[in-house]
Amino acid sequence: MKLQDLLQGLAPLEFHADPETEITGVAHDSRAVQPGNLFVAISGFDTDGHKYIPMALERGAAAVLCEKAPEAGSYVRVADTRLGLAQVGANWYGHPARQMTMIGVTGTNGKTTTTYLVKHILEDCLGAKVGLVGTIQNMIGSEVLHTERTTPESLELQALFRQMADAGCTHVVMEVSSHALSLHRVGGVTFDVGLFTNLTQDHLDFHHTMEEYGRAKALLFQQSRVGLVNTDDPWAPLLMEGAACPIHTYAARRDADLRALDIDLEPHGVAFTARWQGSETPCRLGIPGAFSVYNALGALGIALALGIPPQQAAASLATAQGVKGRAEVVPTPGKDYTVLIDYSHTPDSLENILKTVKEFARGRVIAVFGCGGDRDPIKRPIMGKIAVDLADHVVVTSDNPRTEDPMAIIDQILVGTRDSATPVTVIENRRQAIRWAMDHAGAGDVIVLAGKGHETYQEIGHEKFHLDEREEVAAHLMGN
């Protein structure tokens, strides 16, 4: 592809290269540069890609896309190379997103479950082959692909879209993180439907304020054809402010375009009546908890926006399964207590899962949780307070301490547990904490292992060590 074609859609500030240059590929890591490539220099958080321009040229880069003019070599200077990389990636891979129906889901909690519900509905109702991009994994139909982050870098994301389109996917449903929106990882992608679930405290180490966090999420509605917003969330007005597309609303507590009525929270799921454009449809989802009503409403709203009849979408919802690590019940044969794993690592998600469990627990609720290192420290005492307020016994342990001292993190959590009558046990080793909870559980108790969810590792320092909580529970039951 010629350089001028690869740069379609960009507005260069300087063009010091031959537009007819034949480009053999695109790279944003100098170590991956091949002869004839366009090297995109990204100003990152840990390092500045402009420092590696000489290395990229040495490895044979034909031209450089940059924000700061290099001392040598052919280059094109733009205002923002992250946005430039997104546009270049879309051009290089032939704009695969335009060949598929694109659905984006943003929000603090509920993204993963909602995307899985939407994928199930599309496959069930339309017979569609659906690509999925998410926290747990990426999927092409039933094929599972490993993922390192919620939304890949823009170049890798476009490569994934090309893979999905070439495999026959007609739809893509993806979690769109605030980082992805702020850092232009989804630049150049137009979503046929964009959905906002909710906004609660998270990622303030990156966004600094809730307002900044909310405005990052709201960017989704600058690149969607239709938006869906949960108006029960107090941040909904901010999300709808300045939207560049029509917005439909959904809610359970107030009037909205799509409304849940007659809500019944059951031990094994939720049931409600969905009201849409004057018609009412009974709905059921086999995942317990009030938050499941919102996940179901969001998925239903997306289906309706895509023209799927409400009765058909509701029938499909009733057959949908839960997501690994989201309110997941772990088998405990021969025991009269329950162990449940949930990826609740924010104040709101921890509150939701503990409230959910209290709705059906016959005995005590035992919460086992910690907080990740090198992440927002403000939420640690908040989560400690939530745990002692809602659980009957709290076991504070490690999550992914990363480069922080695990006990220092625990001490910050414990600040929120002061002056509470709820028993608190501190066991820094997470494996030992799980086993302690199982040994001290009684009839009807529910142990909530919060924070790890689908993860099968624990990150300590810069290393990831294998830790699958399902395996830990099974091993302890077997006496290992």
Whether residue 447 contacts residue 337, with contact meaning beta carbons closer than 8 Å, is answered with yes
CA distance 270 to 284: 6
Beta-sheet pairing, 130-133 with 171-175: parallel
Work out the percent of the chain whose per-residue pLDDT is above 90.
83
Closest CA to 198 of 150, 136, 252, 151: 252
Q: What is the pTM of this model?
A: 0.80
Output the known binding site for ATP: 107-113
Output the known binding site: 30, 107-113, 150-151, 177, 185, 375, 399-402, 451, 455
- In the numeric block, the tokens 């104040």 are attached to 347
Closest CA to 237 of 254, 260, 262, 225: 254
CA dihedral 174, 178, 182, 185 (to 10 degrees): -20
CA 172 to chain centre: 15
CA distance 108 to 174: 14
The pair of structure tokens assigned to 24 is 């053999």
Encoded amino acid at 480, one letter: N
**Is residue 101's pLDDT more than 60?**
yes
Cα dist from 353 to 71, 177, 282, 326, 437, whole Å: 56, 21, 25, 9, 17
Output the known binding site for meso-2,6-diaminopimelate: 375, 399-402, 451, 455
89 phi, psi to nearest 5 deg:
-60, -45
CA dihedral 215, 220, 224, 229 (to 10 degrees): -70
pLDDT in tens, 201-230: 555 556 468 888 888 999 999 999 999 999
**Is residue 109's pLDDT more than 90?**
no
pLDDT in tens, 331-353: 899 999 999 999 999 998 999 89
Other C-beta atoms closer than 10 Å to the C-beta of 465 total 10
Other C-beta atoms closer than 10 Å to the C-beta of 236 total 21
Poorest-pLDDT segment among 336-340, 357-361, 382-386: 357-361
Cβ neighbours for 228, distance < 8 A, ≥ 6 positions apart: 193, 194, 195, 196, 247, 248, 249, 250, 298, 301, 302, 305
Residue 291 confidence class, pLDDT cut points 50, 70, 90:
confident
Cα dist from 457 to 139, 383, 465, whole Å: 21, 22, 5
Poorest-pLDDT segment among 57-61, 94-98, 125-129, 207-211: 207-211
